Amino acid sequence: MFDDQHRKLRFDPAHRAITDAVRPVVPVGGGGSGDDALDDLVRTLRDERGLAAATLLGLRRSLTPFLAWLAAGGRAWQNATLDDVTAYLASRPHWSRVTISRHVQCLRSFFRHAAMRGWVRLGLAEMIDAPRLYTHERLPQGPRWTEVQQLLDANRGDAATQIRNYAMLVLLAVYGFRSGEVCALTLDDIDWEHERIHPPRPKQRKVGQYPLVGEVAGAIVRYLRQVRPRCTSRAVFLTLRRPYRPLSAGGLSTQVRLAQLRLGQTLQRYGPHGLRHANATYLLGEGFTLKEIGDHLGHTMIRATEIYAKVDVVSLRQVGDVDLASLVAHERHCAARATPFFRVGDLDALRLVADVPLGGVR
């Protein structure tokens, strides 16, 4: 089981009784191998719910080790129980609460889909509980802006890898693009005539639009002219070794993380997404509103941007300087003048209404 830091599955004796009641003795039937069932889930989520490819890839990466763990233990996935799920999660003591919660969501989705197909008994998905997570409980984990500038300066060299990486880094730092958006850029997404760049936004199922600033344009032009291999792919950023193919989000993440480690930067989170947090934090310090920052990052809901209010030190200090004594006095004054409560039809209430001055209206 997990330690005391709320990293365990929470279920009570009632849950245990339900588990015993619904634990299957033999497979309900069908579904084939675990990989076949997972493929069916991915197709359903892609075709019927339109989930992004990155989301489906994350789902597959989460569930494949679980299915392999069951097979290694001689357990058919159709016979999986809550005890199996608990044992699997307990075998990963290094996982944080956030990681456990993400894997639990994937397991719930898998067993709910399998139950709908009639491959497993009903109820298992609902019994898998996740650790409690609190809204905005963590600070945005990004480097300081000085560390971002240090990273950019370290990749201003003339080596092919540096030229390509610098073009990607300025996109991450200036626009706050996600790694998947940078890797999905094609030559057709850059409008040189009107100086616009249109990153694909698969999470929102739309295309963004940004002005192509000089620093970014210069970095991309240098990469295209001097480094980018000549091939049939329309992707902007390619691998530098044959066979030439579009750079993956994982490859970009590795390049950024290694560059940060080479500089000796000590960060809570390494990789390209930290640059997105750094971009938002920098803009907040420059006086931009959360709405403006959300639009810049491509957020569709203000809730996605609210977490950056926790790092707005200037505004937090202003809140700390508020005179609470005056607020308490104002609250008491309002309470004293509040409308008294009367029962319906009370004559005293009717007299109060009748005495209200109507500003000369007769």
Flag whether pLDDT at 322 surpasses 80: no
Give me the DSSP letters along 151-168: HHHHT-SSSHHHHHHHHH
Instruction: Using a pLDDT cut of 70, give the percent of the chain over it.
Output: 75
CB 163 within 8 A of CB 236: no
Does 230 participate in catalysis according to the annotation? Answer: no
Q: What is d(CA 143, CA 140) in angstroms, rounded to the nearest whole number? A: 9
Quick one: how far is CA 9 from the chain centroid? 23
| pLDDT bracket for residue 133 (50, 70, 90) | confident
Backbone angles phi, psi at 337, to 5 degrees: -95, 5
CB 69 within 8 A of CB 91: yes
Identity of the highest mean pLDDT range in 2-16, 29-43, 50-64: 50-64
Mean pLDDT of 284-288: 83
- H or E element at residue 101: helix 97-117
CA max distance for the chain: 91
DSSP 210: E
What residues have CB less than 8 Å from 80, skipping those under 6 apart?
70, 111, 120, 124
CB 305 within 8 A of CB 281: no
Does 178 participate in catalysis according to the annotation? Answer: yes
Give me the DSSP letters along 177-203: --HHHHHT-BGGGEETTTTEE--EETT
Higher-confidence residue: 203 or 354? Answer: 203
Question: Which among 203, 245, 291, 296 is annotated as catalytic?
Answer: 203
Structure tokens at 312: 């707005």
Q: Does the predicted model carry a pTM greater than 0.85?
A: no
Question: Which among 97, 103, 108, 276 is annotated as catalytic?
Answer: 276
Question: Which among 121, 164, 178, 228 is annotated as catalytic?
Answer: 178
- What's the CA dihedral at 250, 164, 223, 283 to 10 degrees? 80
Cβ count near 332 (within 10 Å): 10
pLDDT value for 120: 92
What amino acid is encoded at 88 in this protein? Y
Structural domains in the chain, CATH included, are: 13-127 (1.10.150), 145-314 (1.10.443.10)
Cβ count near 47 (within 10 Å): 9
Does 308 participate in catalysis according to the annotation? Answer: yes
Does 299 participate in catalysis according to the annotation? Answer: yes
